[in-house]
Amino acid sequence: MSPPQCPVFIRGEWREINSVATSPVFNPSTGEIIAETPLCAPKQVDEAVEAAAAAFPAWSETPPTERARVLFRFRMLLEENFEEIVRCNTREHGKTLVESRGDVRRGIEMIEFACGVPSLLMGESLENVARGIDCDTIRQPLGVCAGITPFNFPAMVPLWMYPVAIACGNTFVLKPSEKVPLTAIKIAKLLEQAGLPKGVFSIVHGGRDCVDALLTHPKVKAISFVGSTPIARYIFETGTKHGKRVQSNGGAKNFVFLMPDADVENSVRGLVEAAYGCAGERCMAGSTAIVIGDAAKKVLPSLIDAARAIKVGRTDVEQQPNMGPVITREHRDRVERLIETGLKEGAKIATDGRGVKVDGAPNGFFLGATVLDHVQAGMTVAREEIFGPVLNVMRFDDLDSAIELANKSPYGNGASIFTGSGKAAREFKHRIQCGMVGINIGVPASMAWFPFNGWNESFFGDLHMQGKEGVQFFTQQKVTTTRWFSFDEGDIWHREQQR
């Protein structure tokens, strides 16, 4: 029996697209193909965008309170179907059930933020900016917006985008990753059930042809993207070239600093979570440990023991491991090649996750936790985003030289420090060149009310996702300057009266 094909959602209708190529959706725990994703042509993209454009006038005129009520119902439905969505997420992505619950929960928090849109859209006013003249601002929606999302957070990342866009009065076309479309589809069916009018939200699937059709379509006003840095740059350059507003999140190389006075137990726990959570497949992964001075002797033995103790296994079963598989066989092989390259370039392997075997799942895409010690700045593993369960360890004598090295990275998502010193923490916070900083926190990813604040080549654009910047991205300001005359005031009226 052939695996089912994922439907598109256009004009409020779910339907399959025939006569197009497809891409497999795997259960990474077993290697089994569980669905096929159609690779939509520009024709289907155009149909979805035209439907969104047709729905925009009525939706943009819908009062913000009514738009918020749809999102309130949407949130309620997500809570009612929470575990079903979690298990779908785990099945197609491979992350553990605990990690999938976090993925869905963070997405729900974005909906909760968007439900406050009546307050978020409030403008400003000033009376008597000049004599008898008042000025005010309002925020209005852009039109058709589009989102292109990655495989690593099937629930959260799409929910970074369209709840805020829709709450602000825009219509939206989502292109989820062809590797993990099932969670996005399941959540979209709940949005439909919540009462969203037809055409306000659509889903298309595909690869580069589909993406390019969105980037160049004249009726798409804004593009949101999360993915690797080379693609993020392409999305930004192509979208802006075609006159679109773009927010484009790229990759990262995040550093976790360990000072000699850091609490060993809490530091190791935070670092292990940062490096190996979601099998390292996240743009906020703490992929490089910067150990300062005596921290190497104090922390590394416990860190290596903790990495070796991580149980890898199937996540599509009730008995859950500590870490699941990576997304595809090809990705696993790529990470293994990077480990081998690191060893050839002089890194030392402290614990090796290659070749891990999982009972009952010989075809799963498994890779164990790996620690590469004595990594140097020029090595490939130090430069490239590995996006897998590999932790680099770099050793420094002092904080100053470590910060100097970290600030040479072309990326700029996050960096953390574990220390008991307020002075060291303040110095680190002030000097480190990245957008999200953690103090005794392994993963300093911001919550829904604050921007996801990448810098440098981790972000292309002006307004970030989440928080007030997300609202600003999906709206445009209008400034009105007003003066009213009495009938007998002003030169024009005075002259008319004299005639």
Tell me how far apart the alpha carbons of residues 169 and 157 are, in angstroms, rounded to a whole number: 20
Please check whether residue 220 is in contact with residue 245, taking contact to mean a CB–CB distance below 8 angstroms.
Answer: no
**Residue 225 token pair:** 């993207």
Please report the sign of the dihedral spanned by the C-alpha atoms of residue 398, residue 404, residue 408, residue 409.
positive
Number of Cβ within 10 Å of residue 287's Cβ equals 25
Structure tokens at 40: 């939509």
Q: How far apart are the first and last CA of the chain?
A: 89
Is residue 283 flagged as an active site residue?
yes
Q: Please count the helices (runs of H) and the strands (runs of E) in the chain.
A: 17, 20
As a whole number of angstroms, the distance between CA 19 and CA 205 comes to: 14
Pairwise CA distance, residues 137 & 213, whole Å: 34
The active-site residue out of 6, 115, 210, 283 is 283
Q: In angstroms, rounded to a whole number, what is the distance separating the alpha carbons of residues 135 and 44?
A: 44
Task: State the Cα–Cα distance between residues 458 and 452, nearest whole angstrom.
Answer: 11
In sequence order, the 6+-apart residues with CB closer than 8 A to the CB of 491 are: none
Question: How many C-beta neighbours within 10 Å does residue 459 have?
Answer: 25
Give catalytic residues, as residue numbers. 283
